């Protein structure tokens, strides 16, 4: 009997111990659940912050453009006039537009280079060559009449041709400055002015301007180039209001450094070419990616887009929302170009397009 009661006591003690352990584990689980519920929003917020940081670091365009996709039929059978088509961004524009079924007019100064580009198109029979020197206003006006006659009108004009410069304001010679203005500002004005009536009468038109992030803020040794880009940006922004209800669209594309021959072809103060590579350009965005994003922007009829690898993509945002901070980050000690004409600037922001 005593043995049975001792065994029963041991069983009861074990059961009580197990119950206490279960209650303890239950309390631990409940507390853990409460802690997780309290920490979950923080964990989610940290995860989202991490994803945002990764997204921003990898971003190569502004947020509006990154969430858009190409509408390939937008260019199908459209007559597209591309200036500066012999190299760089203009050349790649022709390649991609040809694959999208566009009828293309290729313009640049060198007819031989244009022929080479046309032979590389997927549909060379749908492309015409129109050599033109955009620094000559009379030749530019004559070219517009010839371009309209090639396919019976212009649906899309891409003002891509341009020339860069490297010179301080005080050292820039007036003929060189005027040459830059003719190519980068007045030529797009003439081309747009002359093709616009046909776009308005046909009920559709699109003017795409390959500008630069240098059109958003000024930088050292870029006074002439930046003047032209600011001017073209303002002109096209104003024109958009005049034609927006006539189904004519304006898209301003502002690239950062892109791997083109811009640096070598940049003009010095006396009008000679630099003939030197720029490591910022060499490490810039691939031309193919830049053009891909440009066509996405155009096919979605976006007004303005910024295209660049980091950290240059951040600069237009700073210029927009923290202009003083942007200027502080871009500040440079005053330098005479006569004393150090070939000095590389620490925060040098390259321009994009060359003829």
Q: Which residues are catalytic?
A: 225
Q: How far is CA 314 from CA 253, 256, 297, 321, in A?
A: 16, 10, 19, 11
Q: Is the dihedral of CA 145, 150, 156, 161 positive or negative?
A: negative
- Tell me which residue of 68, 21, 135 sits closest to 299, measured CA to CA: 68
CA angle, 148 then 150 then 151, to 5°? 85
Order of strands across the sheet with 156-159? 127-129, 103-107, 79-83, 156-159, 205-210, 248-255, 304-307
Contacts of 11 (CB under 8 A, 6+ apart): none
Q: How far is CA 220 from CA 169, 171, 312, 348, in A?
A: 9, 13, 15, 7
Residue with tokens 């021959």: 261
C-beta of residue 208 within 8 angstroms of C-beta of residue 159:
yes
Q: Angle between the 174-181 and 223-243 helix axes, to the nearest 10 degrees? A: 30
**What's the CA gap between 90 and 252, in Å, rounded?**
15
**What's the CA gap between 246 and 199, in Å, rounded?**
9
Q: Is the dihedral of CA 42, 47, 50, 55 positive or negative?
A: negative
């Amino acid at each position: 009997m005593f043995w049975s009661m001792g065994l029963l006591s041991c069983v009861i003690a074990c059961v009580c111990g197990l119950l206490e352990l279960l209650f303890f584990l239950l309390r631990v689980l409940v507390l853990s659940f409460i802690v997780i519920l309290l920490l979950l929003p923080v964990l989610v917020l940290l995860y989202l912050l991490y994803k945002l940081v990764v997204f921003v670091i990898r971003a190569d365009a502004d947020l509006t453009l990154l969430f858009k996709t190409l509408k390939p039929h937008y260019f199908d059978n459209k007559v597209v006039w591309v200036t500066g088509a012999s190299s760089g961004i203009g050349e790649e524009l022709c390649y991609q537009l040809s694959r999208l079924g566009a009828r293309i007019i290729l313009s640049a100064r060198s007819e031989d280079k244009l022929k080479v580009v046309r032979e590389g198109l997927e549909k060379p029979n749908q492309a015409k060559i129109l050599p033109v020197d955009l620094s000559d206003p009379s030749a530019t006006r004559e070219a517009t009449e010839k371009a309209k006659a090639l396919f019976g009108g212009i649906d899309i004009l891409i003002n891509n041709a341009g020339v860069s410069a490297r010179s301080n304001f005080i050292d820039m010679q007036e003929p060189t400055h005027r040459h830059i203005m003719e190519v980068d500002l007045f030529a797009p004005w003439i081309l747009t002015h002359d093709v616009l009536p046909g776009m308005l009468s046909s009920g559709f038109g699109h003017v795409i301007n390959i500008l630069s992030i240098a059109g958003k803020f000024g930088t050292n040794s870029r006074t002439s180039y930046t003047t032209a880009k600011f001017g073209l940006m303002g002109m096209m922004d104003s024109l958009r209001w005049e034609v927006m209800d006539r189904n004519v669209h304006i898209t301003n594309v502002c690239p950062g450094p892109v791997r083109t021959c811009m640096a070598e072809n940049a003009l010095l103060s006396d009008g000679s070419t630099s003939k030197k590579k720029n490591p910022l350009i060499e490490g810039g965005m691939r031309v193919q990616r830049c053009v891909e994003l440009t066509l996405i922007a155009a096919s979605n009829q976006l007004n303005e887009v910024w295209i660049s690898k980091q950290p240059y993509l951040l600069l237009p945002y700073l210029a927009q929302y923290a202009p003083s901070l942007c200027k502080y980050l871009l500040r440079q000690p005053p330098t005479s170009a006569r004393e150090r004409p070939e000095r590389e600037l620490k925060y040098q922001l390259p321009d994009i397009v060359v003829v």
